[in-house]
Structure 1
Amino acid sequence: MSEKPLRLLVAWSPTAPGPEALECAAWLARTTDVRVRCITTLLRPWPSTSIAKLGSKYKKWIKKEQAAYEHAATRALEEAGIGSGARDKKVAVLSDGTNEAAMLSEAAAEFGADMIIMGAAATAPKGKFMAGTTADAMLHGSPRPLALAPRAPRLSKRGVTRVNFAYIGQETDPAALLRAARLATRWNVGLRILAISPNGFGVPPISDSLKLPVDFTHEWRENALAALDRARDEVAKAFPELGLETDLGSGTGWAGALDAVRWKKGDLLCLGSAPLGAFERVFVGSQTTEILKHVQVPVLMIPNGGQGR
């Protein structure tokens, strides 16, 4: 029995700085069966009481804007290569309110989205991801996986050809690895498990001695290799048919550490959230926030205990 289509909610506006979110959705559509719905938000600073006074006039205006957005979204999806069979019957939604992140989360819940796809901020350099205000808020509060598309990404015409899961320090939910493995199995692609760390011990600021930094580096490498072995064994036990590989990435800063491992156009990088306390909704920690600036492939952020497949 085949699985249900992956439901993708794409945060896209006709005034978006680029088509990255749509391109990422099209990339996933070349990988697996999907249902795509676009959403844009209308942020209104005025209170609901003011809207109530406008009554039917405001409703008519919203209805007109919704129709225009549906038309624009349909055309944009066609241009991105997302055919009618991959689009949801309700192809586009215009949501108005006072909090964009809350509107996206509510729309994702209503759609039953498996992923929310967001593009990079207008200021992001080519090939890199920088979070805008709304994306940053979603990173720190979304209960559903977020797919983040870098600016002008280079994507394989064959879709996702390899899923990567990266350990970065201690900010990782162990269950996220198995969710990444489940995706790789579903898409019939391999899984690469990575340990990423900047060697960042560099030259001591006072002493000329390199013994302590070298000791740290050796200790990190030994711990990383042991962690990768454990992770490989855990995934192999749960998904015995899955093709697995492991790699270490260490270099100067996060950019150097990421560049130390080879990336392909078909790579999707998965990152897990930190397993935080019951009353904390923080989704990503400082290490994850920093690493996102240097990633050149689409990233799937898997929330701790979040929803989605």
Structure 2
Amino acid sequence: MTVIVGYLAGKSGPAPLHLAVGAARTLRTSLTVATIVPKPWTFPSPARVDAEYAAWADQLAADSAREAQRELAALGEPLEVTFHSHAHRSASGGLTEVVSELDAEVLVLGSSASGALGQVVVGTTADHLLHSCPVPIAIATRGYRIPRGGRLTRVTCGYPGTSDAVEVVRQIDELAKRLEVPMRVITFAVRGRTMYPPEVGLHAEDSILSAWENQAAELLAQLRTDGVVSDDAVLQVVSGNGWDQALDDAEWQEGEILALGTSPRDGIARVFLGSRGAKILRVSPVPVLVLPG
């Protein structure tokens, strides 16, 4: 088993490498830096063109490995690292093949360079993998840097309070024990921008939100009563006017990661976010770990 990080020279910066190192150290496993290089089409072409294309792909893989190696060397503390290049016509398809070939435990990706620093920004490759990857995917926030201790410090599980999400909480509790880090379970109570028409008034909204917070607290407590989470797990309800405010008010630690469950699709164990999880992912201020359905 290994942690695989997708990395291409000049794309998304060192953030995914920092998250992957923290994950590999915490899991006490090896790290594989995977670079997907374009695969040539099969139609005939002059031998010289084929040779030039192959040389360019080899150089791209070598540049990516060299750039990643330089960044990893600056992080100190030795770690078993291998570099792997794989040819495919798409980055997502190539990473899916590498994940299966190398028996990956988790796939780490960076955020798109088009978003704001400090947030998870899902690019095209990550979006495709979130619908097809058979193993958990961890996505780094833009500009993420490894915490001072060099490892992950806490796992927070987002719990919507539904019966089908209980098994996800159980899985995250087992993961936290394996990582030997504290676990927190959060239910977000979010007031929508148009929760009720103006004539109903904010007082009604506050009453409904308060009732939901009380119900969420009871559902969280039931997780402990049923033995789904350990006695020392932190259970918390966080409310806000919109998902961004709720996530900001959750008081995150340095080195923390947010774990989300997913919806099963077509009876196959693969990553596939539901609408609530997708909203949380877009505004998370910490890296997000998405489990297969």
**TM-score, with length taken from structure 2:** 0.87
Equivalent residue letter for 2:37: L
TM alignment of 1:112-123, pairs within 5 A? 112-123=103-114
Instruction: Report deviation, 1:59.
Output: 8.4
Equivalent residue letter for 1:205: P
User: After alignment, is 126-135 or 50-59 more displaced?
Assistant: 50-59
CA distance in 2, matches of 1:279, 1:65: 34
Distance 1:56 1:203, change over 3 A: closer
> 1:213 aligns to what?
205
State the Cα RMSD in Å. 2.9
Q: How many residues align?
A: 291
> 1:307 aligns to what?
none
The answer to whether residue 247 in structure 2 is matched with residue 258 in structure 1 is yes
Residues 67-108 of structure 1: per-residue CA shift (max 9 Å, x gap)? 44433332232134462x421xxx222222222211111101
CA distance in 2, matches of 1:147, 1:122: 16
The answer to whether residue 74 in structure 2 is matched with residue 86 in structure 1 is no
> 1:197 aligns to what?
189
Selected match of 1:33 from 19, 28, 32: 28
Distance 1:154 1:205, change over 3 A: farther
Distance 1:202 1:153, change over 3 A: same
> 2:285 aligns to what?
296
Kept in 2: contact 1:165–1:270 (CA 8 A): yes
Residues 190-237 of structure 1: per-residue CA shift (max 9 Å, x gap)? 111110131226674341434542343133213211221122234xx3
> 2:167 aligns to what?
175
Equivalent residue letter for 1:160: L
Kept in 1: contact 2:129–2:271 (CA 8 A): no
CA distance in 1, matches of 2:45, 2:95: 21
Equivalent residue letter for 2:276: Q
> 1:3 aligns to what?
none
Distance 1:82 1:299, change over 3 A: farther
Kept in 2: contact 1:168–1:197 (CA 8 A): no
CA distance in 1, matches of 2:215, 2:256: 25
Kept in 2: contact 1:171–1:287 (CA 8 A): no
> 1:57 aligns to what?
51
Distance 1:232 1:197, change over 3 A: same
- Structure 2: 5+ residue stretches without partners: none
**TM-score, with length taken from structure 1:** 0.83
CA distance in 2, matches of 1:171, 1:15: 43
Residues 6-55 of structure 1: per-residue CA shift (max 9 Å, x gap)? 611001111113210001122224434121111122235x5223479679
SS in structure 1 at match of 2:104: coil
> 2:65 aligns to what?
70
> 1:272 aligns to what?
261
Kept in 2: contact 1:43–1:99 (CA 8 A): yes
Distance 1:303 1:280, change over 3 A: closer
CA distance in 1, matches of 2:50, 2:85: 17
SS in structure 2 at match of 1:31: helix
- Structure 1: 5+ residue stretches without partners: 1-5, 305-309
CA distance in 1, matches of 2:175, 2:44: 46
Equivalent residue letter for 1:214: D
CA distance in 1, matches of 2:275, 2:206: 25
Kept in 2: contact 1:7–1:35 (CA 8 A): yes
CA distance in 2, matches of 1:47, 1:294: 39
> 1:147 aligns to what?
138
